[in-house]
């Protein structure tokens, strides 16, 4: 990954895309009636290309990485908490990605490669972990990071010192919610970087994270605010402390101790992956497509001419 440089008096910004989050959003947001000449749905491809073009045009990042899931349900997380994403496992043991979307993933890869947008994934890890690691590397070198995702788990990475902020896509790419430490604190009533601990306590059904029975949003927020983290709560339990626990919560937390210990491994985004896949990434945004002939061929074959043109124009507009 290239080193951050001062640009026009400001620190350059690295944009990290939670690519699976974006192409799933595109797949369900763009009608499947959008097809290639042979009838293959290309709604996810077109939607993702348009999302990236708008992000480049509106947010003007200096560098960009399309972070990928090399493993959507890593073994180390399942070993810690078997319920992790268990409800998403298909009968064949894989995930429940719709067939019409799965058929588009190789097209997405080919288009990104032809444009010259770097893809990064590491065996055994999710896109979240790639994002966490690249964020840590960038901020250690003095850079700023924008994370684009629809996954609230990545709120745990916000850091006003970087700065690191999440561009949250719940309302769409045109209505991004910029979530930094102050915004996370205001929305959830917790210290800005403590979202992972908050989610561990209250649970997250979308990930198969049960939470502590009887601990809801308000109690989770109060606990994180008082003790700072799940580790702080466990230390207080071990010390026999009674102060600071909302009424009735101490016994519930003590009964859920095994879950709390395991869930830390599941919820916490990895920030220190040591893998060759993340070394030497060429994350600079290209001013023009890396392989214009291949891109033109893909645009013709898959009915992508309009979104590809918009992406090429967005890249050219930066120079």
Inter-residue contact 157 to 127 (CB < 8 Å) = no
Residue 308, judged by CB atoms within 10 A of its CB (0-12, 13-18, 19+), counts as buried
Residues 235 and 86 in one domain: no
Q: Where are the beta strands (DSSP E) in 134-200?
A: 144-149, 164-168, 177-179
- Whether 189 is in a domain gets the answer no
Q: Point out the least confidently predicted range of 38-42, 102-106, 240-244, 252-256.
A: 240-244
Does 283 share its domain with 204? no
Residues 309 and 160 in one domain: yes
User: 84: which 2 tokens?
Assistant: 């992790």
Residue 217 covered by a domain:
yes
The answer to whether residues 127 and 73 touch, using CB atoms and an 8 Å cutoff, is no
Final residue before a domain boundary, out of 246, 267, 288:
267
* 3-class DSSP assignment, residue 319: coil
In a domain, 251, yes or no: yes
Q: Does the pLDDT of residue 1 top 80, yes or no?
A: no
User: Residue 219 domain-assigned?
Assistant: yes
Written as one string, the DSSP assignment of 202-247 is H-BGGGTB---TT--HHHHHHHHHHHSSHHHHHHHHHTT--TTPPT
147 with 18, same domain: the answer is yes
Say whether both 221 and 79 belong to one domain: no
CA angle 246, 179, 282 (to 5 degrees): 130
Q: Return d(Cα 245, Cα 192) in angstroms, integer.
A: 20
* Distance of alpha carbon 43 from alpha carbon 51, whole angstroms: 12
Q: What is the pLDDT of residue 3?
A: 64
> Is there a domain that residue 190 lies in?
no
| Pair (224, 105) in one structural domain | no
- The reported pLDDT for the residue numbered 140 is 95
pLDDT at position 11: 66
Q: What is the mean pLDDT of the chain?
A: 94
What pLDDT, on the 0 to 100 scale, is given for residue 93?
81
The sign of the CA dihedral 223, 228, 231, 234 is negative
CA nearest neighbour of 36 among 304, 308, 289, 272: 304
Domain of residue 241, CATH code: 1.10.150.20
Q: How far apart are CA 142 and CA 3, in angstroms?
A: 9
Mean pLDDT of 14-39: 96
So what's the pLDDT on residue 9?
Answer: 45
* 3-state class (DSSP) for residue 43: helix
pLDDT bin (cut points 50, 70, 90) of residue 2 is: low
For the chain, the domain total comes to: 2
Task: Tell me the mean pLDDT in the region 239-262.
Answer: 93
Per-residue pLDDT for 27 more than 80? yes
Among 243, 267, 291, identify where a domain stops.
267
Task: Please enumerate in sequence order all residues whose Cβ is within 8 A of that of 81, keeping only pairs 6 or more positions apart, or say none.
Answer: 208, 209, 259, 262, 263, 265, 266
Examine residue 1 and state whether it is found in any structural domain, yes or no. Answer: no
More confident residue, 227 or 94: 227
- Answering whether pTM is above 0.85, one says yes
Same domain, 124 and 213: no
Residues 255, 154 within the same domain: no
What would the pLDDT profile of 144-173 be if each residue is shown by its tens digit? Answer: 999 999 999 999 999 998 899 999 999 999
Q: Assess if residue 202 is contained within a domain.
A: yes
Please choose, from the candidates 109, 12, 124, 125, the residue with its C-alpha nearest in 3D space to the C-alpha of residue 66: 109
| 92 and 201 together in one domain | no
Provide the residue range defining the domain that includes 171: 6-184+269-316
Q: What is the CATH number of the domain that holds 154?
A: 3.40.50.1010
At residue 4 the predicted structure's pLDDT band, cuts being 50, 70 and 90, is low
Is residue 82 in some structural domain?
Answer: yes
Residue 318 above 70 pLDDT?
yes
Question: In the prediction, which pLDDT does 12 show?
Answer: 82
- Does 300 lie in the same domain as 236? no
C-alpha 263/C-alpha 33 separation (Å) is: 41
What's the rounded Cα separation, in Å, for the pair 130 and 68? 8
Q: Residues 268-317: pLDDT tens digits?
A: 999 999 999 999 999 999 999 999 999 999 999 999 999 999 999 999 99
Cα(96)–Cα(306) distance, integer angstroms: 30
- Over residues 17-35, the mean pLDDT reads 96
**201 and 151, same domain (yes or no):** no
Tens digit of each residue's pLDDT (9 = 90 or more) over 168-216 = 999 999 999 999 999 999 999 999 999 999 999 999 998 999 999 999 9
Do both 21 and 55 map to the same domain? yes
Which residues pair with residue 14 across a beta bridge?
63, 145
Q: What is the rounded average pLDDT of the residues 248-253?
A: 95
3-state secondary structure of 164: strand
């Amino acid at each position: 990954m290239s080193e951050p440089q001062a640009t026009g008096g400001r620190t350059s910004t690295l944009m990290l895309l939670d690519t699976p989050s974006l192409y799933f959003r595109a797949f369900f947001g763009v009608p499947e009636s959008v097809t290639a000449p042979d009838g293959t749905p290309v709604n996810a491809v077109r939607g993702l290309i348009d999302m990236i073009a708008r992000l480049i045009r509106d947010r003007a990042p200096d560098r960009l990485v399309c972070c990928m899931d090399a493993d959507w349900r890593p073994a180390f997380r399942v070993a810690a908490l078997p319920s992790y994403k268990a409800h998403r496992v298909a009968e064949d043991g894989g995930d429940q990605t719709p067939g019409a979307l799965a058929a588009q993933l190789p097209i997405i890869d080919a288009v990104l490669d032809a444009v010259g947008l770097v893809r990064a994934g590491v065996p055994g890890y999710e896109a979240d972990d790639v994002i966490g690691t690249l964020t840590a590397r960038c901020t250690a070198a003095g850079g700023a990071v924008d994370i684009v995702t629809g996954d609230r788990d990545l709120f745990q990475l916000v850091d006003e010192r970087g700065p690191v902020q999440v561009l949250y896509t719940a309302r769409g790419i045109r209505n991004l919610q910029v979530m930094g430490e102050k915004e996370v604190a205001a929305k959830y009533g917790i210290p800005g970087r403590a979202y992972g601990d908050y989610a561990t306590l209250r649970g997250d059904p979308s990930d198969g994270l049960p939470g502590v029975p009887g601990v809801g949003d308000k109690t989770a927020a109060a606990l994180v605010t008082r003790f700072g983290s799940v580790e702080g709560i466990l230390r207080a339990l071990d010390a026999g402390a009674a102060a600071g626990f909302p009424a009735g919560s101490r016994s519930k937390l003590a009964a859920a101790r095994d879950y709390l210990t395991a869930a830390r491994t599941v919820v916490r985004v990895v920030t220190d992956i040591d893998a060759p896949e993340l070394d030497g990434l060429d994350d600079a945004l290209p001013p023009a497509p890396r392989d214009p002939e291949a891109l033109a061929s893909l645009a013709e074959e898959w009915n992508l001419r309009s979104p590809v043109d918009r992406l090429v124009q967005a890249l050219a507009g930066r120079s």
